[in-house]
Amino acid sequence: DNGYNVRYIIIGFFNDDYSNYLINYVNSLKNKEIFNCFPFSGDKFINEIYCASDIGIWTNCAISIQESMGTGLLLFLENKSSLNYLVEEKVNGFVWSEHSFDKEIVKLIKNRSFFNEFSRERRFQHNKTFSYDNLANAFIKNLKNLKIGLN
């Protein structure tokens, strides 16, 4: 409503009552065209979305947070113990409380120079241990160290 150039992407819809409820809710909104709703998707598509996004917002713990960190996506996580340990404040993201969410998101959207200060490259270097390749290599290395055969 305030004229900000924002797109909101939601991935993970199924053919169930809850997903249908959410889609109907989104379609009832005044600015429904800013929402893109996608079904449950594979990692290639989701990784492309992470790479094309400016910020990622999560309210609940999910493996997708760590997946997004491997792309250098700026995190914006709710301040709860299941999430806030993932964020190094002002390095790879920020935490928000229910009372500061609107204020903090608007601040991010208005301040485009903010994204230069916290560049994707800087965040990627910080989070590179979460990339698929690095996680797979670490897993294989640990298997070799345990002398477990790989078929």
- pLDDT digit string, tens, across residues 32-56: 999 999 999 998 999 899 988 888 8
Q: How many other C-beta atoms are found inside a 10 Å radius of the C-beta of residue 100? A: 13
Give the separation between CA 116 and CA 120, rounded to whole angstroms: 8
Q: Answer whether residue 64 shows pLDDT above 70.
A: yes
Beta strand segments in 14-151, E = 35-39, 55-58, 74-78, 93-96
Give the containing element (helix H, strand E) for 151: none
Give the separation between CA 106 and CA 133, rounded to whole angstroms: 34
**112-127 mean pLDDT:** 67
pLDDT, position 151: 55
Tokens of 86: 């993932």
